[in-house]
Amino acid sequence: MTDGVDGSGDRQVAVVLGTRPEIIKLAPVINECENRGVDCLLIHTGQHYSDDLDRVFFDQLALPEPDYNLEVGSLSHGEQTGQMLAGIERILEDESPDAVVVQGDTNSTLAGALAATKLHIDVGHVEAGLRSFDREMPEEVNRLAADHISDYLFAPTEETRRYLERESVGGEVFVTGNTVVDTLYEYRDTVREKSTVLEDHGLSAGDFYLLTAHRAENVDDEESFERLLTGVARFAERTDRPVIYPIHPRASARVEEFGLEIPEPIRTIEPLEFLDFLCLESEAALTFTDSGGVQEETCILGTPCVTLRYSTERPETVHAGANCLAGLDPDDIVEAAETMIEKDGDWTVPFGDGNASKRILDVLVAADGADAEKMEALT
């Protein structure tokens, strides 16, 4: 690869990812490496279930093929993280990158950060500082551990920066905005031209609801899953609109295992490609979700959101008026939906201006050669 305009062509950054949200959020970082001539070593852990669907995400985001794919797949937390840690460590020992970038709160995030820090390689954590304050969530444990062993913490908002400072993390904190804004701003204006998902499913813009539910605490417990579906279906019946549910493989397995009947207003479909899902998020009248990423995306896209959890690591979406925590009680879900359906999407996006990836690369490039003066200016 040729030198970039900033002369950073001899610097190598390893990017570790393993889930579709990580692909979406790290895509602009990978592209910015290309723009600057920074050699990007791409390590895919294979954490998510569908290799084919992951490949579509790479294609639609115009990303290079991973240099390595560990193909770990779905295992228990300990087995999955352990296999990733061993595999990533071997790669880092062979390649000796200058820095390792991880994103978010997955087992891939934790394994990548641990492998790098034990080899004394700098770690940059994208989307650092998120807190649900619920340690029953495995993601909360992952993000806490990653934050406290990272050298560069890329906080998406001032609120996340404050959380990190209160915890006295050892690394340097930079408020960059959220890279998901970079991705959505690039694709939101053209997605409707390229996606036929509304026509394919007989939907009209603004006349359907979107549901995503996959978290273990929701779908692995039969009563919780049933209450969630009941609340969403009750609101859909009341307002005479269908609910589209791209069902996650984990949730689909639990529906079959529990013998659950999906209520009639909820239509399950196969998991979607990136552009199709983005189209549904953009055109839905309301989204029900237990996903942190969907809370962010709908906030950015101007779609009201009801979160089917009792806590969130994205409180900025609630403060902005884009999101409401409903929990799992059916009456509470209906009440939250009645409140949010009245929103017109006219809120201020709290996650930055779409230039997060540029700020992240500014830090990683300045770190080359320990440019203390430039690093100080970036904090």
Q: Which residues are catalytic?
A: 214
- Helices and strands in the chain, H and E counts: 18, 13
Residues 227, 328: contact at Cβ < 8 Å? yes
Placement of tokens 């089917």 in the chain = 308
Report the sign of the C-alpha dihedral through residues 253, 254, 255, 259, in that order.
positive
Q: How far apart are CA 295 and CA 313, in angstroms?
A: 10
Count of C-beta atoms within a 10 Å radius of residue 238:
12
User: Which residue from 318, 253, 325, 338 is spatially nearest to 289, judged by alpha carbons?
Assistant: 325
Q: What is the CA radius of gyration of the chain?
A: 20
User: Which residue from 257, 255, 216, 32 is spatially nearest to 107, judged by alpha carbons?
Assistant: 216
344 CA to centre of own chain: 24
Angle between helices 292-301 and 274-283 (to 10 degrees): 60
Residues 355, 179: contact at Cβ < 8 Å? no
